[in-house]
A and B are shown apart, each in its own frame.
Chain A
Amino acid sequence: MFKLLNGPQTLGNGRAFWICFFLVLIIALAYPFFADSYDVGNFAYFLIWVFMALGLCLMWGYGGMLSFGQTFFFGIAGYSYGVLAINLGGGGMTFVALGLAILLAALSALILGYFMIWGRVGGVFFGIVTLSATLVLAFFVGQTAGPEWRVGEARLNGYNGMKGMEPLNIPWFGGESIYFEGSSLYYLAIALILLVYLGLRVLLNSRFGNVIVAIREDPQRAELLGYDVRKYQLITFVIGSALAGLSGALYTSWGQFITPSSIGLPAAAMPIVWVAFSGRGDITATLIGTFLILVAFQTITVHSQQAALILMGAMLLATVMLAPQGFVIGVARSIGRLVKRRGQAPG
């Protein structure tokens, strides 16, 4: 299985890449020891969004399915975590709520994906249908302000958002609980990213990965090689959407609230910008690019939220015009070419 960490579907397969990987990992693990706790909390917040981007990269970059529905599944899991955490009680049950919330997002993806893929919805219409689902959910949750909109103890609360759920926590010795906030949330996010990133590398370099890139290139040819294209597309869609669900559930746990604005149109466009800018053709590029954009976005938002949104739009435009494969991939390939040329240089 470890052999599959490297392969044709992932950039960065050499020794130099893995040395850099471990160096970055060590720095990331050491970061909370020398950084301000506020910054560590912020970094944890940035990392939470990366799962959604990785899921979109899998669907769009590798599978050729441009989904505008990442915040739909983010919202399903985010609200589900809130409802379940409030109703199941705190402590270790918050992790049960996390698991069930992701499962619900995956189940929603299975149902929506089944109707789209078996109904031969493809190309631009795939984006339109997923965007429609996202907007419907955002509008629906927005009109749940009345007291009748509750699930057990949990009130959905319309545009004011749902609150009152406990963050992820586990009971500890002496009646104490470990709450996953600040540094502990940061480490949890790092562990999950490591798991998801390496898992995706293995998946993409496996037989399954070969088939989904073949489907992206030419679905008819892939089917004529004996693959049930619909099945592979549905599995890809469910995995990518479940990763958006993981982001949603972690987000609700992080902030102990969730509002419809985290589902609606501006939010739905964000993952597209992150992945397009980073380079949809590679998960490492998406991981790095998304994190960098989130840091930049947050930094600019402190001064002006409008300016940050304009920057996002400008970045998408620049990517489409100047580097359709993505800026991070472009830089990575340039470095690769440079290293190769140096290696070949005489003397």
Chain B
Amino acid sequence: MAEILQTAQVSKTFGGLAAVSDVDISVNEGEIHCLIGPNGAGKSTLFKLVIGTYLPSGGSISFRGENVTQRRPYERVKRGMSIKMQTPSVFKELPVRQNIHIALQHHIGRAALAREEERLLTLLELAPDATKPAGALSHGQQQWLEIGMALALKPALMLLDEPTAGMSPEETFRTGELIKQLNADGMTMLIVEHDMAFVRQIAQRVTVMHFGKVFARGAIGEILADPRVAEIYLGKTHEH
């Protein structure tokens, strides 16, 4: 399968702290790739490097065969990336419908816009709350709304940073099913997640990060069977 995203020796330091060190990851077209690891492993920093809100201290990032290392976030989005942040990042004072509208208007003509708006609101089960300010939604609904805004861009690669944080088990399961459905429709996903049950539900390939480096990688079955991975989650393995 062709690679859609590739990072080569990507690093990010903040003062003397190396949050991400020489990370090589590749995401294949059409897969659900999960990025896991304990707190402080550098997963979210790597996401920010991929989308461009941080510029790397070293290394390079290629997307669809193009070096995008120095590109601004909006340029990466225009090339087919889309992201859902860790904490819900929606336009809280604006109505739910307008949030979706703003995401859609970028690439959809006026005629198709209303139809697509309705489709997304229905898919996300937000149609009854369409006129409410986004800030009045529950945490889980805000997460879904942001996923909807990211989806509205019809990305080739969707980045989801802890998409189920703060969701109930039922909402988490439904989110997993939604992700699998989107993937079945051809969307590539790179997902940061803590919840191993959720990772088991959706992941095809997994990269494990620890102390800013790639600790292990492989198919979901291999990773789950790796005793070292279980150990770092229990805090027994320390690499210095």
Closest Cβ of chain B to A48, distance in Å, is 32
In-complex Cβ contact of B74 among A8, A213, A229 (8 A): A229
Given contacts A218-B91, A220-B53, A220-B89, contact A225 B98 (CB under 8 A): no
Chain B stretch 65-111: residues in CB contact (< 8 A) with chain A: 72-74, 77-78, 82-83, 85, 89-95, 98, 101-103, 105-107
* A8 surroundings in chain B (CB, below 8 A): 94-95, 98
Task: State the main secondary structure of chain A at its contact with B.
Answer: helix
Q: Check A213 against B94 for contact (C-beta < 8 Å).
A: yes
Interface flags for A223-252 (1: CB within 8 Å of B; 0: not) read: 111111100000000000000000000000
Judge whether A153 is part of the interface by a CB distance below 8 angstroms.
Answer: no
A214/B89 in contact, CB under 8 A: no
Chain A residues positioned under 8 Å from B106 (CB to CB) = 225-227
Is the pair B91, A221 in contact by a Cβ cutoff of 8 Å?
A: yes
Whole-angstrom distance between the Cβ of B98 and the nearest chain A Cβ: 6
B-contact 0/1 string along A193-214, CB 8 Å cutoff: 0000000000000010011011
Range of interface residues on A (Cβ < 8 Å): 10 to 19
B107 contact set on A, CB distance < 8 A: 226
Distance (whole angstroms) from the CB of B182 to the closest CB of chain A: 18
Contacts of B85 in A (CB 8 A): 221, 224
Q: List residues of chain B with CB within 8 A of the CB of A218.
A: 89-92
What CA separation (Å) do A214 and B149 show in the bound complex?
12
What interface size band does chain B fall in? 20 to 34
Question: Is residue B35 within 8 Å, beta carbon to beta carbon, of the partner chain?
Answer: no
Given B53, B72, B89, B101, which contacts A210 in the complex, CB threshold below 8 Å? Answer: B101
Instruction: List B152-170 residues whose CB lies under 8 Å from chain A.
Output: 153
What distance in Å separates the Cβ of B136 from its nearest Cβ neighbour in chain A? 14
Contact across chains for A228 and B101 when beta carbons are under 8 A apart: no
Residue picked from B72, B83, B91, B153, most chain A C-beta under 10 Å: B91
Q: Known contacts A214-B91, A214-B94, A217-B92; is A225 also within 8 Å of B103 by CB?
A: yes
**Nearest opposing residue in chain A for B89, CB measure:** A221
- With A218-B91, A224-B51, A226-B78 in contact, is A210–B102 under 8 Å at CB? yes
Say yes or no: B91 contacts A213, CB within 8 Å.
yes
A207 to B101 Cα, complex, angstroms? 9
> Are B72 and A221 in contact (CB-based, < 8 A)?
no
- Contacts A217-B93, A217-B94 known; A223 to B74 CB distance under 8 Å? yes
Which chain A positions have C-beta within 8 A of B92? 217-218
Interface string of A103-145 (1 = CB under 8 A from B): 0000000000000000000000000000000000000000000
Residue picked from A207, A221, A222, A227, most chain B C-beta under 10 Å: A221
Complex interface: chain B residues within 8 A of A211 (CB): 102
- CB neighbours of B74 from chain A (8 A): 223-224, 226-229
A265-291 interface code vs B (CB 8 A; 1 in, 0 out): 000000000000000000000000000
Residue among B53, B72, B149 making CB contact with A225, cutoff 8 Å? B149
Contacts of B153 in A (CB 8 A): 225-226
Give the distance to chain B from A259, nearest Cβ to Cβ, in Å: 41
Among candidates B51, B77, B102, residue contacting A214 with C-beta atoms closer than 8 Å:
B102
Q: Which of A207, A213, A217, A229 counts the most chain B CB atoms within 10 A?
A: A217
CA distance A213 to B105 in the complex (A): 14
Query: A210-B101, A210-B102 in contact; A224/B90 too (CB < 8 A)?
Result: no
Residues of A contacting B73 in the complex (Cβ-Cβ under 8 angstroms):
220, 223-224
Q: Which residues of B are found within 8 Å of A210, using beta-carbon distances?
A: 98, 101-102, 105
Bound: A228/B73 CA distance, A: 9
Q: How far is the CB of A337 from chain B (nearest CB, A)?
A: 15
Residues of B contacting A214 in the complex (Cβ-Cβ under 8 angstroms) = 91, 94, 102
Of the candidates A207, A217, A220, A229, the one whose C-beta lies within 8 Å of that of B105 is A207
Q: Are A224 and B83 in contact (CB under 8 A)?
A: yes
Closest B residue, CB atoms, query A206? B105
When C-beta atoms are compared, the residue in chain A nearest to B95 turns out to be: A8
B28 CB to closest chain A CB, in angstroms? 23
**Chain B contact residues, CB within 8 Å of chain A:** 51, 53, 72-74, 77-78, 82-83, 85, 89-95, 98, 101-103, 105-107, 149, 153
- Which 10 pairs from chain A and chain B are nearest by CB? A217-B91, A226-B77, A221-B89, A223-B74, A214-B102, A210-B102, A223-B73, A226-B106, A207-B105, A225-B103
Can you show 18 pairs from A to B with CB atoms below 8 A apart? A8-B95, A211-B102, A217-B92, A217-B93, A220-B53, A221-B89, A221-B90, A223-B72, A223-B73, A223-B74, A223-B77, A224-B73, A224-B77, A225-B77, A225-B102, A225-B103, A227-B106, A228-B74
